[in-house]
Structure 1
Amino acid sequence: MSDTRRSPWRFGVPLVCLMAGLLLAATHGVSGGAEIRRSDAPRLVDLVREAQWTVDGLKAQRDELAAKLDSTHLRSSDAALAAMLRRSAELAGEADMDAVHGPGLVVTLEDAKRDANGRFPRDASPDDLVVHQQDIQAVLNALWSAGAEAVQMQDQRIIATSVPRCVGNTLLLNGRTYSPPYVIIAIGNAAAMQAALAAAPLVILYKQYVVRFGLGYSEDVKSDVRIVGHSEPVRMHFAQPIGPVNY
């Protein structure tokens, strides 16, 4: 009688071969036909070491350039810097940077005040009762035209780039806001400055508002007034140098 039992290897061997084939096919697809673990493939540690070499080389180059720059400055810049500082100090006075004092005039402008009954004039509009930018500018222009040597408004020195501007019922000057009274101090010939103020058309108009609506205005002659220096950075937006400067 023949043995009809079937050996498990009859099915196992083809299954193993099939799986091996699938594994080989997957490996070929991943590697693109090349060896996965090649002996010359770069390792992470090699990449890190190479990057470190690059950094070290750049650092050495930077240190070399810094040393050359320092040595050049030590040889030539001290004298040039000293010359520039001396020239800067000489120009500071002409550029209205230094604090000064001397005889002069103090002009004060102020918004209108209410009367004893707490009221303003009936026909006055809000614009009639406050000091405006043009009023400040008219006083400044008159003082400069009379030969004022230095001018200060509130706690700031007025320089070529200073522009007072109205912001509501306050005034903006060099980035800072101020409320009245506005005090303008000028060093110079007080009589000449008072004459210029008396002849300035816009100042004359302002004085009419003083009488009509109660705005504040006063002039005080002083034997000695002090004007602060200008300490803020000066940024020129449109000026261009006309040529090389010799120190």
Structure 2
Amino acid sequence: MSLQQPPRSTSSRFPRPDASMSLLTNVMEHSLDDGYAEAAARRGEVGRSRMPRTVRAKLGLAAGLVLAALVVTVGAAQARVSAPTIAKEKQELIERIESGGKEADKLQKDVDKLRSSVEAEQREVLAKHGDARGRTTALLAGATAAKGPGLKLVVDDAKDAGSGKGDGPRQSDGFSDTGRIRDRDLQRVVNGLWAAGAEGVSINGQRLTSRSAIRAAGDAILVDNKPLVPPYTLLAIGPGQKFSRTFQDSVDGQYLYVLHKDYGARTSISVQDEVRLPAAPSLILRTAKPVRTGKGSTS
């Protein structure tokens, strides 16, 4: 009796028709990526509204909200409690600043008073013991007051200062024109007066010397670190009409004319029979030599 072999299955006898397309088969059977599957599972836990669905997750969210509210409440309470203290400290700081400012102003007045006293004694000594050459030097240096014929030149901002125009002599340094007189404008005018033969110049009652500086601090013009307020009145001692013509015909005089004509700067010039200039402040005597008063003696 012969044993019959079991019939072979069709699947073992014949390979799958798509056996050669295993990659496509895998894609079809696992069409959802693992990352997407994990995100879908997480969405099923928290829901589409991103709110947790489980009791444990809800309790955790509630605890977090309570903690955040507690922190905000405590912070607001502390700010309310500390507000009077901060206001008090601010007021104390303001009072200290004001007190310090008053003390500084008082000290500055004392310094100015002592400086004026020293300068007066220096001028008295120069007038008493100096010769004609010394007096001339003191006059030219601005150490003593001066008077004589000269010019009065008034320079002021334009009425519509701030609306400036495009081209002109003030555009070369990149600053826009506003119709406002600036430090460089006064520098050119003063240099023009010296070049025209001025023997002494002052601006708004402040005597200029060879050591004077005309600078700017924002929109303010400083002369020897003292602010000036427009209009700017320049007084210069010189030979009258000739002095006036020489200045107006100079390059700096023409520059001032352009500022008036093109930018609306208000200017006026007049010849004065007598101009009085004050002595320059803060002149320091740095060197001195003994003067012989008699044979074999010095003082």
Q: Provide the residue aligned with 1:229 in structure 2.
A: 279
Q: Provide the residue aligned with 1:176 in structure 2.
A: 226
Q: Provide the residue aligned with 2:18 in structure 1.
A: none
Matched, 1:87 2:87: no
Matched, 1:220 2:270: yes
Counterparts of 1:130 and 1:105, CA distance in 2: 23
CA deviation map 1:24-75 (0-9, x unaligned): xxxxxxxxxxxxxxxxxxxxxxxxxxxxxxxxxxxxxxxxxxxxxxxxxxxx
In structure 2, relative to structure 1, the CA distance for the partners of 1:83 and 1:196 (3 Å cut) is closer
Q: Provide the residue aligned with 2:148 in structure 1.
A: 102
Q: What does residue range 79-228 of structure 1 map to in structure 2 within 5 Å?
A: 86-87=129-130, 90=135, 91-114=137-160, 120=163, 127-228=177-278
CA deviation map 1:170-207 (0-9, x unaligned): 21111201121111101111223222322332431332
Secondary structure of residue in 2 paired with 1:129: coil
Letter in 2 for 1:99: A
Secondary structure of residue in 2 paired with 1:127: coil
Q: Provide the residue aligned with 1:43 in structure 2.
A: none
TM-score for the superposition, normalised by structure 1:
0.54
Q: Provide the residue aligned with 2:7 in structure 1.
A: none
Counterparts of 1:84 and 1:197, CA distance in 2: 33
Q: Which is further off, 85-94 or 200-209?
A: 85-94
Letter in 2 for 1:209: L
In structure 2, relative to structure 1, the CA distance for the partners of 1:131 and 1:234 (3 Å cut) is farther
Secondary structure of residue in 2 paired with 1:137: helix
Counterparts of 2:243 and 2:191, CA distance in 1: 10
In structure 2, relative to structure 1, the CA distance for the partners of 1:137 and 1:123 (3 Å cut) is closer
Counterparts of 1:121 and 1:160, CA distance in 2: 33
Using the TM superposition, give the Cα deviation of residue 126 of structure 1 relative to its aligned residue in structure 2, in angstroms: 5.1
Letter in 1 for 2:251: P
Letter in 1 for 2:146: V
Counterparts of 1:187 and 1:202, CA distance in 2: 18
In structure 2, relative to structure 1, the CA distance for the partners of 1:202 and 1:225 (3 Å cut) is closer
In structure 2, relative to structure 1, the CA distance for the partners of 1:220 and 1:93 (3 Å cut) is same
Matched, 1:245 2:295: no
Using the TM superposition, give the Cα deviation of residue 219 of structure 1 relative to its aligned residue in structure 2, in angstroms: 0.3
TM-score for the superposition, normalised by structure 2:
0.46
In structure 2, relative to structure 1, the CA distance for the partners of 1:187 and 1:126 (3 Å cut) is same
Q: Provide the residue aligned with 2:95 in structure 1.
A: none
Counterparts of 1:93 and 1:129, CA distance in 2: 36
Using the TM superposition, give the Cα deviation of residue 83 of structure 1 relative to its aligned residue in structure 2, in angstroms: 9.0
CA deviation map 1:135-194 (0-9, x unaligned): 212221222122212111112111110111122222111120112111110111122322
**What CA RMSD, in Å, does the superposition of the two structures yield over aligned residues?**
3.0
Counterparts of 2:220 and 2:199, CA distance in 1: 27
Q: Provide the residue aligned with 1:77 in structure 2.
A: none
Counterparts of 1:84 and 1:222, CA distance in 2: 27
Using the TM superposition, give the Cα deviation of residue 122 of structure 1 relative to its aligned residue in structure 2, in angstroms: 6.5
Secondary structure of residue in 1 paired with 2:154: strand
Counterparts of 1:217 and 1:170, CA distance in 2: 19
Counterparts of 2:165 and 2:129, CA distance in 1: 61
Counterparts of 1:147 and 1:104, CA distance in 2: 10
